[in-house]
Amino acid sequence: NWTMENFIEDKVKEIKEKVKPDERVLLGLSGGVDSSVTAALLSKAIGKRLTCVFVNHGLLRKNEVKEVIDTFKNFDLDFKYVDASNDFYKALAGVTEPEEKRKIIGKLFVETFRKEADKLGKIDYLAQGTIYPDVVESGLGGNSAKIKSHHNVGGLPKDIGFKGLVEPLRYLFKDEVRRTGLSLGLPESLVFRQPFPGPGLGIRIIGEVTAEKVKIVQDADYILREEIKNAGYDKQISQYYAALTNMKTVGVQGDGRSYDYAVVIRAVKTIDFMTAKPFDLPYSILTRIADRIVDEVDHVSRVFFDYTSKPPATIEME
Ligand code: XMP
């Protein structure tokens, strides 16, 4: 019979069988729920033969680097931080097509892990926090059509030098991942953190990604998160964020004309992240968020709210 405890026990056993006593694993840790639960599970199975590498791809939220480092300082894990922002910005320059962006980010992640593995010496496996919806939406879950390439799905490029992948959560849905995390003793603040996609703000900036646009979307998103939290909605909304459109419009600023970007805010309610409904936020909160974003964030003169369900829209905006 299937229970969380059985699942953990089975996975630990499976990992121990796959990863031989003299072998080591490198895990791409983002600080999100999926990779953190993967870290806890692997650490239970193989202890210090696991090294967790946190790559900053320059597409993280405001303050996120510090928050993730601070969280994992408290765990008994071999944890390494790598700032690869400039490599990612360089690779993404001039690229506008969403699938192409995802592929570039995914490829660069693996290359960064490879480089770190070389510095660490012998690493046999690469571990990732892939979960079932990632597999389904990448068109690998049976009859499903390909919607988009999750950065972590589709296997390893050949000749990258790892013996294989370890993905213990590959058949779990998000709510099961959370239950696993709680059973493994991870803090609630981490387990109930809202999801943040692996390609990060790279898929919340429509069109070309630049360091300047990242800063705009980080600042707008920070305001949104602050207001949602202050209003007490953070636990009720499954996922909420600001995205940057590729659209500029005319506005007025002081006595002059402005020609600046439009930000979109999205807030959805969902159980399994396969379907979602827009969250009914009060008008007063939406207008407060919009006022603050245009006041406080340079180069933004309009804020829209996305009322679309999934399907037909996705939760992310790319
Ligand atoms: P979509 O946009 O497909 O998102 O409706 C469903 C859920 O998946 C997250 N998401 C990702 N997570 N890597 C991830 O780890 C990805 O490439 C990715 N794309 C989307 C999204 O944030 C939402 O929670």
List the CATH number of the domain containing 154.
Answer: 3.40.50.620
Domain membership of residue 312 (yes or no) is no
Residue 283's contacts (CB-CB under 8 Å, 6 or more residues apart) are none
Residue 89 Cα to ligand 1 midpoint, Å, equals 21
In angstroms, the Cα distances linking 227 to 2, 66, 103, 191, 266 are: 40, 21, 33, 22, 13
Where among 169, 191, 213 does a domain terminate? 191
Cβ(129) – ligand 1 distance below 6 Å: no
**Other CB atoms within 10 Å distance of the CB of residue 315:** 19
Element (H, E) at 110: helix 98-120
Domain shared by 9 and 141, yes or no = yes
Q: Is 252 annotated as contributing to ligand binding? A: no
Same domain, 39 and 122: yes
Please state the atom number of ligand 1 nearest to the C-alpha of residue 314. 5
What pLDDT sits at residue 134? 85
* Ligand 1 pocket test target in 36, 206, 316 with most atoms within 8 Å of CB: 316
Query: Ligand 1, atom 3: nearest CA belongs to which residue?
Result: 314
Spatial distance between the Cα atoms of 153 and 197, rounded to a whole number of angstroms: 13
Taking residue 263's Cβ as centre, other Cβ atoms within 10 Å add up to: 27
Burial class (CB in 10 A: 0-12, 13-18, 19+), 46: buried
Domain that holds residue 269: 204-305
Tokens of 185: 């003793």
User: Tens digits of per-residue pLDDT, 232-243?
Assistant: 999 999 999 999
Task: State which ligand 1 atom lies nearest to the alpha carbon of 238.
Answer: 24
Same domain, 279 and 130: no
Pairwise CA distance, residues 290 & 273, whole Å: 26
Q: Is residue 196 part of a domain?
A: no
Residues 144 and 212 in one domain: no
Same domain, 231 and 103: no
Residue 278 located in a structural domain: yes
The whole-chain average pLDDT of the chain stands at 93
Q: How far is the CA of 316 from the centre of ligand 1 (A)?
A: 6
Atom of ligand 1 nearest to the CA of 129: 15
Q: Could you tell me what percent of the chain has a pLDDT over 70?
A: 94
Token pair listed for 139: 């068109």
Helices 174-183 + 4-18 axis angle, to 10: 80
Asked whether the predicted pLDDT for residue 154 surpasses 80, the reply is no
102, 216: one domain: no
pLDDT for 156: 65
Q: Is the dihedral of CA 284, 285, 291, 294 positive or negative?
A: negative
- Which pLDDT belongs to residue 86? 98
| Closest among 131, 135, 149 to 36, alpha carbons compared | 131
Side-chain-side CA neighbours of 208 within 13 Å: the count stands at 9
Select from 127, 156, 191 the last residue of a domain: 191
- For residue 178, CA distances in Å to 70, 102, 173, 290 come to 21, 25, 9, 32
Q: Does residue 26 sit in the same domain as residue 145?
A: yes
Residue 100 scores a pLDDT above 60: yes
Say yes or no: 236 and 167 in one domain: no
Residues 230 and 143 in one domain: no
Q: Are residues 209 and 236 in the same domain?
A: yes
The pTM of this model reads 0.91
Task: Report phi then psi at 147, rounded to 5.
Answer: -95, -50
Residues 51 and 94 in one domain: yes
Are 120 and 162 within one domain? yes
Q: In the sheet where 164-166 sits, what is the strand order?
A: 78-83, 50-56, 25-28, 125-127, 164-166
Could you give the CA distance from residue 238 to residue 240 in angstroms, rounded to a whole number? 7
Q: Is residue 110 pLDDT above 70, yes or no?
A: yes
311 occurs within a structural domain: no
pLDDT (0 to 100) of residue 160: 75
pLDDT category, 145, cuts 50, 70, 90?
Answer: low
Q: Return the minimum-mean-pLDDT range out of 42-56, 63-77, 136-150, 277-291.
A: 136-150
Domain count, the chain: 2
